[in-house]
Amino acid sequence: MKNSKLTTKRFVIRKSLIGENVIITFTNSKNITYTYDHDEIYSTYQEKFENMKCFQEYKSYTNSNIVPKFCRELSKITEVKHNAVVGGMPVQEKSFA
């Protein structure tokens, strides 16, 4: 099955995207762009998401600033725009793995 791409303003896992083979990209307020495989993160942490109140109520989980720590190893920083800084240090393109 072919992957589709989705650009959002935040990290998101949505029930409506499960099984759709979506690769999501978002850029945070610090100009760091992250890319991740929605289904890979969901299937790896399915139990965690399903037990979250927000996921039960709103059928989604979001984070506007960064990929959550528990799933960073399954994502990649794909672009760092001019003057991107985290913790006072300039950021270079890297994966979390």
pLDDT tens, position by position, 34-43: 999 999 999 9
pLDDT tens, position by position, 49-93: 999 999 999 999 999 888 999 998 888 877 666 555 555 555 554
pTM of the model: 0.78
Residue extents of the structural domains in the chain: 4-83
Find the DSSP H helices in 1-96: 38-44, 46-50, 53-58
SS3 content of the chain, % helix, strand, coil (to 5): 30, 40, 35
